[in-house]
Chains A and B, each alone.
Chain A
Amino acid sequence: MAARVLVGVKRVIDYAVKIRVKPDNTGVVTDGVKHSMNPFCEIAVEEAVRLKEKKLVKEVVAVSCGPQQVQETIRTALAMGADRGIHVEVSGKDYDSLGPLQVSKILAALAKKEEASLIILGKQAIDDDCNQTGQMTAALLDWPQGTFASEVAVEGDKLKVIREVDGGLETIKINLPAVVTADLRLNTPRYATLPNIMKAKKKKITNVKPGDLGVDLTSRLEVLRVDEPPQRQAGVKVETVEDLVGKLKEAGRI
């Protein structure tokens, strides 16, 4: 039975916001834009809290890496039922270049420090769509991983994970400690209720620096340019199936 679960929560631009590329093409506009918890991270928090409610884990710790504002995201996790939070302070250029490699190093270090036996993450973030952090964290810790989880069950000292794969569903059994990444259908995250938001204020958030964890934040990636996707071209209407086949042949598609 896993005693302590670490849940990673990422602060991203809210899914409903229309993204705009900065005029200098170095990134997207984030100033004054609504941010919230990555939806897959919400699902991860929900799963961790449910495990705690079923008394399968003792403590849920929410972790986020970034500047002061990520504390809002941690607080949302606390309001959903996490017990305490860890804010790993990363800001400025380090934050701009923060990616799965750095975050997975941080999570691995924290997992050792906090003696966590289960890490639950969202399968990917909706801003970079990397889908790497869970896998890298497991590799760094040499732990098994259950990614794209649509169902998680504790079976003794093992985890049964049903994964969503291209061909359908794959069921695996992995030893604890392990890393699980949450897919869309794992659960429906609860709202933070007003009483829980108020209770969350009393929960602790500790501040940690990446240096304290012995993590080097240097990025191996350099963003050269960010562009909007090309405008969608208008389609062409055809009268008959023969026309359709003809047009497809013309376009070299068949």
Chain B
Amino acid sequence: FTYFKVTHFPCLPSELTDQQKEFKEVARKFAQEEIIPVAPEYDRSGEYPFPLIRRAWELGLMNSHIPEDYGGLGLSSFDSCLITEELAYGCTGVQTAIEANSLGQMPVIIAGNEAQKKKYLGRMTEEPLMCAYCVTEPGAGSDVAGVRTRAVKKGDEYIINGQKMWITNGGKANWYFLLARTDPDPKCPASRAFTGFVIEADTPGVQPGKKEMNMGQRCSDTRGVTFEDVRIPKENVLLGEGAGFKIAMGAFDKTRPPVAAGATGLAQRALDEATKYALERKTFGRLIADHQAISFMLAEMAMKVELARLAYQRSAWEVDDGRRNTYYASIAKAYAGDIANQVATDAVQIFGGNGFNSEYPVEKLMRDAKIYQIYEGTAQIQRLIISREHLAKYKR
């Protein structure tokens, strides 16, 4: 099997280009000065952070994947990840609302035709609109092939009926990427049975459900969406009938690195908060940071954050360099999701009783972290992918 060459992998901050450093700086400043002060209140109220999203849009921090031809910046995955980590440091609820745009857009970016890209990507750069990736259903999450939403061709239209669930930006999207089954034959393989569509959210029959109250990332808008006899023109099919599954999965190779970056941003925040606290709080006559029990915890938290960062950077660099990055993207997402939970939990532990309390910032981090092991491919699905890719190398 192939060994990788670690030539020119810009893993050290000193090796970032000037432009990358400047981008990171804008994102960091925005997170520190505008997201962090208001994040606790958004978490309490669950209100959608549209003012923050609008600001991020104005600064060019959103929609980074949209190519320049459609008004976007056409940033590399690596650059997008740098920005994502900084925003997530501020609040992953806000960052997820922003990231959901990238996920919804990715099928159009990779499989849309010129007209579709112009129409659906172009409008995102003209005003701060949201979109959503509509695949999961109440009965099918990890098992995407189990999606039951039906698309029936009728003349020049498709009639959609079904129920989607846990759709981020479900109630705020201007349009959705929808995966529906076009071939009713149960023997038809997943690779041919599904079709990807772009649906305008105001199409009659599209009904977002109530905003779901979740454990964490509470300001992010998550809803069920019902499709009742929704009519989509055939022009809105991506690539062609039957190409949907591949498109839906293909999007993940590009969106898993930023999700991993988001989890890393949360972990870094947890590490920073815990470290600052440990350098202030005293017990048994010393700063708690001087007790090895705590300093060893901080050391292990630091190890995890640094490695998660390297992992997402590698996965972004691979895809930017034109290679299939499935293996690295899964590793990054799985690892970052797991360590975000560990580091956030440890941060609460270091804060002690204060950590359990809502007036200190770490309990929110612990609640926000959990979803990173679930969305964008559960921790278990990532292991399935990694083992498959890993074993394939040996079987060759």
Interface residues of A (CB under 8 A from B): 72, 75-76, 79, 191-198, 201
Contacts of B30 in A (CB 8 A): 191
What is the CA–CA distance of A72 and B61 in the complex, to the nearest angstrom?
Answer: 20
* B321 part of interface (Cβ distance < 8 Å): no
In the complex, what residues of B have CB within 8 A of residue A75's CB?
A: 18, 22
Of the candidates A193, A198, A201, the one whose C-beta lies within 8 Å of that of B59 is A193
Q: How many A-B residue pairs have CB under 8 A?
A: 36
Interface residues of B (CB under 8 A from A): 18-19, 21-23, 26, 29-30, 58-61, 64, 73, 75, 83
Q: Which residues of chain B are near A198, meaning CB under 8 Å?
A: 19, 73
Which of A191, A193, A196 is packed against the most chain B CB atoms within 10 Å?
A191
Identify B19's interface contact among A76, A191, A193, A197, CB under 8 A: A197
**Contact between B59 and A191, CB atoms less than 8 A apart:** yes
A220–B58 Cα gap in the complex (Å)?
Answer: 47
| Of B21, B26, B73, most A-chain CB atoms within 10 Å | B26
B60 to A72, Cβ gap below 8 A?
A: no
What is the distance, in angstroms, from A53's C-beta to the closest C-beta of chain B? 16
**Distance of A193 Cα from B125 Cα, bound (Å):** 14
| A121 vs chain B, min Cβ distance (A) | 23
Using CB atoms, name the residue of chain A closest to B73: A194
Q: Considering the chains assembled together, what is the distance between the CA atoms of A197 and B59 in angstroms?
A: 10
Q: Please name 16 further chain A to chain B contacts, defined as beta carbons within 8 Å, in addition to the given A194-B73, A195-B60, sorted by A numbering.
A: A72-B18, A72-B21, A75-B22, A76-B22, A191-B26, A191-B29, A192-B22, A193-B59, A194-B23, A194-B26, A194-B64, A194-B75, A197-B23, A198-B19, A198-B73, A201-B19
29 A-B pairs with CB atoms under 8 Å apart are A72-B18, A72-B21, A72-B22, A75-B18, A75-B22, A76-B22, A79-B22, A191-B26, A191-B29, A191-B59, A192-B22, A192-B26, A193-B26, A194-B23, A194-B26, A194-B60, A194-B61, A194-B73, A194-B75, A194-B83, A195-B60, A195-B73, A196-B60, A197-B19, A197-B23, A197-B26, A198-B19, A198-B73, A201-B19
Q: How far is the CB of B53 from chain A (nearest CB, A)?
A: 15
State the CA gap A34–B22 with chains docked (Å).
13
Residues of the B chain whose Cβ atoms lie less than 8 Å from the Cβ of A194: 23, 26, 59-61, 64, 73, 75, 83
Decide if B29 touches A197 in the complex (CB within 8 Å).
no
Q: Which residues of A contact B22 (CB under 8 A)?
A: 72, 75-76, 79, 192, 197
In the assembled complex, which residues on chain A have CB atoms less than 8 Å from the CB atom of B21? Answer: 72
With a CB–CB cut-off of 8 A, which chain B residues contact A197? 19, 22-23, 26
Which residue from chain A places its CB closest to the CB of B75 in the assembled complex? Answer: A194
Residues in B whose Cβ lies below 8 Å from that of A195:
60, 73
Residue of B nearest to A200 (CB): B22
A191 vs B32: C-alpha distance when bound (angstroms):
13
Bound CA–CA A96/B22 (angstroms): 26
Which residues from chain A contact B73 at a C-beta distance below 8 Å?
A: 194-195, 198
Complex CA distance for A198 and B18, rounded to whole angstroms: 11
Q: Tell me how far the C-beta of A64 lies from the nearest C-beta in chain B, rounded to whole angstroms.
A: 15
Closest-by-CB residue of B relative to A195 is B60
- Min C-beta distance of B144 to chain A, whole Å: 33
Whole-angstrom distance between the alpha carbons of A188 and B376 in the complex?
A: 39
CB distance from B22 to the nearest CB of A (A): 5
Shortest Cβ distance from residue B86 to the other chain A in the assembled complex, whole angstroms: 12
Closest chain-B Cβ to A198's Cβ sits at a distance in Å of 7
> Smallest Cβ distance from A195 to chain B, in angstroms?
5
Q: How far is the CB of B120 from chain A (nearest CB, A)?
A: 20
Q: Give the Cβ gap from A238 to chain B, nearest Cβ, in Å.
A: 28
CA distance A76 to B26 in the complex (A): 10
Q: In the complex the two chains form, what is the Cα distance from A196 to B19 in whole Å?
A: 11
Within the complex, what minimum Cβ distance (angstroms) separates B275 from chain A?
A: 14
Which 7 A-B pairs give the minimum distances between C-beta atoms? A194-B60, A193-B60, A193-B59, A195-B60, A197-B22, A191-B59, A194-B23
Closest to A196 in B: B60
Residue of B nearest to A32 (CB): B14
B23 to A: closest C-beta gap in Å: 6
Rounded to whole angstroms, the CA-CA distance of A245 and B269 in the bound complex is 48
A79 to B29, CA, bound (A): 15
Complex formed: what's the CA distance from A201 to B73 in Å? Answer: 14
- For the complex, what is the distance from the CA of A192 to the CA of B19, rounded to whole Å? 12
A239 nearest CB across to chain B (Å): 29
> Nearest-CB distance from A125 to chain B (Å)?
20
